[in-house]
Amino acid sequence: VSSPTLLQRFEQGDIRALSRIISHVENEDDGYLELLSHLYRQPRQAVRIGLTGPPGAGKSTLVDGVSRILLEAGEDISVIAVDPSSPFTGGALLGDRVRFKEETQGGRHYFRSLASRGSSGGLSRATDNIALTLDGFGFDLVLIETVGVGQVELDIVDNCDIVVVVLVPESGDTVQTLKAGLTEIADIFVVNKSDRPGADRIVTDLTTMLALRRSQGTHPSVSQTAGETPTLPVIATDAVHGTNLAELVATFNSLLSRKKDNGEFDARRRKQMKRKVSQLLQQRFLTETLQKVASKGDVDRAIESILVGEDDPYSTADRLFEQINLARQSC
């Protein structure tokens, strides 16, 4: 995987090498970890913006429109379209999953789609690692589109610097949005399809709700900032006709510079990295230590004892933990 020629070609800006490396990283082929350690040691500059929202809200159309504006400004834009609900990669052929365009005047554009494989953790990890690869290749921006249907996409957007929640007039009940946990993760709300009836209503509802939450100090990104309390931007767009897309891009930029100035940008990345390292530690601990030390039938026996009322899960966990500790100390 980490043959010097492939990596060299990648570093020289060869798009085909990029695609191959992304595939290795996505499939976690032999040697992908060496690739990742190499990439982590390179200078990084790409900003990650995640877009999530209900199916058909216009996320892809928005991503296209926003990309076009930034490409014209000369930026190199990459897009990862993640579909946690689809078991197959959109189109069986790799060709359908990758698009690349070099603007004659302007930046480069790279698109990659990614569909569910195995665990939800796997999809989120693959997205993170692919974003790292695109960053290492030199893209200025990684736009990550994912359908807002559950925990998986929350994990995915957790790896972003800015999260855009896309709603449509049909989303109607904003309380549902609250329940879905989307307001907790949003940095920007977009009400797309604002050409349709009901758009004004949802903009007003959202703004009211956000103001209320702000006054109660319940929004995480608000309670973190002492002093001035910024409101979350709510932007009404029509992605098909490009209405307000320039405003959306301007909002990205102002939010980014504010977050970089007040330290939120670094704080978020630090938190994400801390979570990543703890997750890796947890995985190692569970898969290796637990299997090696406590799987000699002890766990199964303990579970049987709990089921017949002779033990309980808390004492079992305590005991197994002690057992593992002892075994580690004697190593």
* Smallest distance from ligand GTP to CB 168, Å: 8
* Smallest distance from Mg ion to CB 236, Å: 20
25 touches 36 (CB < 8 A): yes
* Smallest distance from Mg ion to CB 166, Å: 10
Count CB neighbours of 327 within 10 A.
13
> Is residue 60 involved in binding Mg ion (CB under 5 A)?
yes
Helix (H, G, I), strand (E, B) or coil at 111: strand
Answer for which of 58, 107, 136, 169 binds ligand GTP (CB under 6 A) is: 58
> Is residue 85 involved in binding Mg ion (CB under 5 A)?
no
> Is residue 97 involved in binding ligand GTP (CB under 6 A)?
no
DSSP letter, residue 171 = G
130 touches 80 (CB < 8 A): yes
Number of residues that bind ligand GTP (CB under 6 A): 15
> Is residue 193 involved in binding ligand GTP (CB under 6 A)?
yes
Number of residues that bind Mg ion (CB under 5 A): 2
Cα gap 191→51, rounded to integer Å: 12
194 touches 201 (CB < 8 A): no
- CB-hemisphere CA count at 13 Å for 119? 4
> Is residue 195 involved in binding ligand GTP (CB under 6 A)?
yes
Binding site partner of 55, from ligand GTP, Mg ion, none, Cβ cut-off 5-8 A by kind = ligand GTP
Continuous H helices in 28-172: 32-40, 59-72, 94-97, 120-137, 151-157
Residue least distant from ligand GTP (Cβ)? 58
Q: Are strands 188-191 and 234-236 parallel, antiparallel or unpaired?
A: parallel
* Smallest distance from ligand GTP to CB 292, Å: 43
List of residues contacting ligand GTP (CB under 6 A): 55-61, 147, 192-193, 195-196, 238-240
List of residues contacting Mg ion (CB under 5 A): 59-60
